[in-house]
Copies of this chain bind each other. A is one copy, B any other.
């Protein structure tokens, strides 16, 4: 029997936009929202709500800011539309510019933070909850978090109105045993307060889907995925794989297959993501992918062995 508590969240636009500064055509965003809605996906994360003082609207696309007009335009006319999510980063949002829930189509505000910033994330959660939103906290780079710090953060989060707290494997480093450990640890603090555990994986080692399944098996109920795995670098858990696993009959695979062939294949010709060796290497080494991103932008983009030697030598020099 499937678990009706499971919520799927598509973050194709938000996470995929990190590849191209969110410079998607409106028609692409609409197609993604429509496909998610038809597929029965619970939430579609249409972008960030970041500060226009810090990010120039001339340089970044509309999904970096998610003005209310934009959100209404790209989500209009879809029957039984997916709920709408947007994300904020710590210190990169104008809190006062975020409307009251009753004036917005946004349902869910997601706060991304590192372990060290959980106190700030809690302030944001309280702020957005007071405005009427559901909230999540997405703890990034979890594979580098020290356990006592993480436990202190979870203990504090358990006392907030947050709906779900995410394990975010930013570096694509976790194996199933670590996923099991983390879901159990999160649940120990959060379950008594009715707060759900979420999982957001990166695909550096081709484990994004597998680790999402392992998190489900251990009780995670908020599941992030992206269509065709789009996302910066190696990308994310592919939504089509996740829907092929979940048993709830409300989920439909076909709308996702259609939007892949019509929208994602042409896009993939222009921007890259997926199984690319330098990201596999940063995943193995439990590092931020910035060195791999830099490599892929230059002429040595396929010099894998040299890249690997360089990173390993860097580590030896500490």
Contact = CB atoms under 8 A, between A and B. Distances in A.
Interface of A: 175-177, 203, 205-211, 213-214, 217, 229, 238, 240-241, 244-245, 253-254, 257-258, 260-261, 265, 274-275, 277, 280-281, 284, 302-305, 308-309
Copies of this chain, whole number: 2
Contacts of A304: 257-258, 260-261
Nearest to A238: B206
Contacts of A275: 229, 238, 274-275
A27 to B, nearest CB: 19
B257 A277 contact: yes
Contacts of A284: 244, 253
A69 B284 CA distance: 40
Contacts of A245: 175
10 contacts: A176-B214, A203-B206, A205-B209, A253-B284, A254-B308, A257-B305, A258-B304, A260-B277, A260-B304, A261-B304
B254 A309 contact: yes
Contact of A176 (B203, B213, B277): B213
